[in-house]
Amino acid sequence: MKVIGFLTLILFLGCSMGKHEPTPINVIPLPNEIVYGKGVFKIKKELTLHFNNEKIENTARIFAEQMEEVLPVQLTKSDKANINLILQQPFNGSELYELKTTKQQITINANSVKGIFYGLQTLRQLLLFADYENGRFEIPVITIRDQPRFGWRGIMLDESRHFFGAQKVKELLDLMALHKLNIFHWHLTDVPGWRIEIKKYPKLSEVGGIGNHSNPDAPAAFYTQEEIKEIVHYAAERNIEIIPEIDMPGHATAANRAYPEFSGGGSERYPEFTFNPGKNETYSFLTGILKEVAALFPTKYIHLGGDEVHFGNESWNTNPDVQRLMKQHDFNDLKEVESYFVHRMADSIQMLGKTVIGWDEIVDHGLSPENSLVMWWRHNLPEKLGAALNQNFSVVLCPRIPLYFDFVQHESHKTGRRWAGAFSPPDLVYQFPPDTLPGFSTHFEQIKGIQANLWTEQISTNKRLDFMIHPRLSALAEAAWTVPEEKNYSNFKVRVKQMMKFFESKGIYYFNLFEPKTTPEPNESF
């Protein structure tokens, strides 16, 4: 017994001193620089936050709300601030923060509200997962200096296939904030349903909003513009930017049900799949939609999709408007028609003062790399990533394997996608991105970040949505934030256990990667 006790002590000292050893703090994503001190800071009944700048007040209030169930937080504006927004040097980097605890106090310094927010989220996790001894919280004396590896740390949610609604979206935004994820890409339109109110074209949501992937007759479900504004505000308070996607010229079936006059038809398998690129009126219609979208979302981006047009553009071969367009411009094939469409809509987006985002198909259309951003999703076509980088595009990495969260996460799972047997387990998500990706090291500056995409053909309930997201969201957050030298999957697994306890306390279902075969998989029939 004595020998075991002695060894344990040595290991413990080893852990707290070795830079690359497992860390005793439970924070996800793991901060990039941690210096451990001696002793603990104890909080008995409540925490008082003194802040020195009214710009931080809202962020501090959000933190107090987030802590409500754990510990009362009082806010006071005071010069003796323990949260400081330092508006000049020496703190460079807009997301950088420093969190310092002594036995007497906790101080967070940053030169932006974002930095303060992230410092507070680290503190939140330190408190959520703190030792709770004799009725008081204890957090270690520590100095953390931290900023993310990537500026773009995203999640995409497809609400066309299945609609989850404002409450679930806010819950997801809360979990993103806890993990310092900062981009919510909202896939609002596609084949089964149109989910955003457009005042100029009300039938888009009233008619196009009817149905979902499981039930084509489900009552119309969509977000009103007031709801969108509220969610955008809610996200912004948590440092999350919302990027709307209005998919075109394909994946347009729901819109075409509402306004068939702008349909370009489809194929046998994908009827009414496209907008009509041969009609001038289509461009006015779509620009009218984008104008309202641009006004609702403060982000500088609008995502115009642009994916998989070949699935359903067969009818362009016979559509008289498209044929006329082809003759007029001497186009040889449908790819040139597609490029024409994408260029016209990209021009509209620029005229609205926004930057275009498209799926990696847009690399083939010769858009200007200064005014557009590419999302690389076809993991089976790494050359598309190489081409995008070579053509100077900024790129977000979101390849199906491992960043499509509609793919299963364990070999025993029955519901969800696979690609030639491959899927997206949490450890692969964690290890992403490998530096062997084409252009990765030579064009690193153009890689804005990483994003997980949640397509919802096979996700129709909140419980199943949670199961597909967690704990991969935690793995994604660390892959996006923590530099490779500090990442360590075994250590992550220790910390994710605490996160799982948190999910349990919040009633959030998750895949228990420690008991992969015994976590019941919610696999509702579709």
Name the residues annotated as catalytic.
190, 251, 308
What is the contact mask toward ligand ACM in residues 339 to 378, using x (rule: CB under 6 A)? --------------------x-----------------x-
Q: What is the DSSP code string of 171-202? A: HHHHHHHHTT--EEEEE-BSSS-B-B--TTST
Q: Retrieve residue 129's tokens.
A: 């997962």
Q: What are φ and ψ of residue 296, in 5° steps?
A: -80, -30
Give the footprint of ligand ACM on residues 58-97 (CB under 6 A): none
Q: Retrieve residue 101's tokens.
A: 């605890």
What is the contact mask toward ligand ACM in residues 110 to 149, using x (rule: CB under 6 A)? ----------------------------------------
Residue whose CB is less far from ligand ACM, 140 or 244: 244
HSE value, Cβ hemisphere, 13 Å, CA-based, for 126: 25
Residue whose CB is less far from ligand ACM, 275 or 503: 275
Select from 453, 478, 462 the least CA-distant residue to 510.
Answer: 462
What is residue 22's DSSP assignment? P
Residue whose CB is less far from ligand ACM, 161 or 257: 161
Shortest spacing between CB 359 and ligand ACM, in angstroms: 4
For residue 460, CA distances in Å to 270, 378, 419 come to 22, 24, 21
Give the footprint of ligand ACM on residues 179-238 (CB under 6 A): none
Q: Retrieve residue 471's tokens.
A: 């704990």
Per rule CB under 6 A, is residue 307 in the interface with ligand ACM? Answer: yes
Shortest spacing between CB 308 and ligand ACM, in angstroms: 5
Other CB atoms within 10 A of residue 342 CB: 26
**Cβ partners under 8 Å of residue 102, min gap 6:** 37, 41, 141
Residue whose CB is less far from ligand ACM, 310 or 344: 310
Per rule CB under 6 A, is residue 270 in the interface with ligand ACM? Answer: no
HSE value, Cβ hemisphere, 13 Å, CA-based, for 260: 3
What whole-number distance in Å separates Cα of residue 381 and Cα of residue 404? Answer: 15
Q: Which residue is nearest to ligand ACM (CB)?
A: 307
Select from 409, 417, 393 the least CA-distant residue to 517.
Answer: 409
Shortest spacing between CB 377 and ligand ACM, in angstroms: 5
What whole-number distance in Å separates Cα of residue 258 and Cα of residue 272? Answer: 11
Residue whose CB is less far from ligand ACM, 274 or 488: 274
Shortest spacing between CB 412 and ligand ACM, in angstroms: 25
Residue whose CB is less far from ligand ACM, 259 or 377: 377
Burial 170-190 (b: 16+ CB within 10 A, else e): ebbbbbbbbbbbbbbbbbbbb
Name which position in 308, 321, 347, 364 contacts ligand ACM (CB under 6 A). 308
Shortest spacing between CB 390 and ligand ACM, in angstroms: 21
Per rule CB under 6 A, is residue 297 in the interface with ligand ACM? Answer: no
Shortest spacing between CB 361 and ligand ACM, in angstroms: 8
Shortest spacing between CB 121 and ligand ACM, in angstroms: 30
Residue whose CB is less far from ligand ACM, 418 or 506: 418
What is residue 76's DSSP assignment? E
How many residues bind to ligand ACM according to rule CB under 6 A? 4
Q: What are φ and ψ of residue 458, in 5° steps?
A: -110, 25
Contacts to ligand ACM by CB under 6 A? 307-308, 359, 377
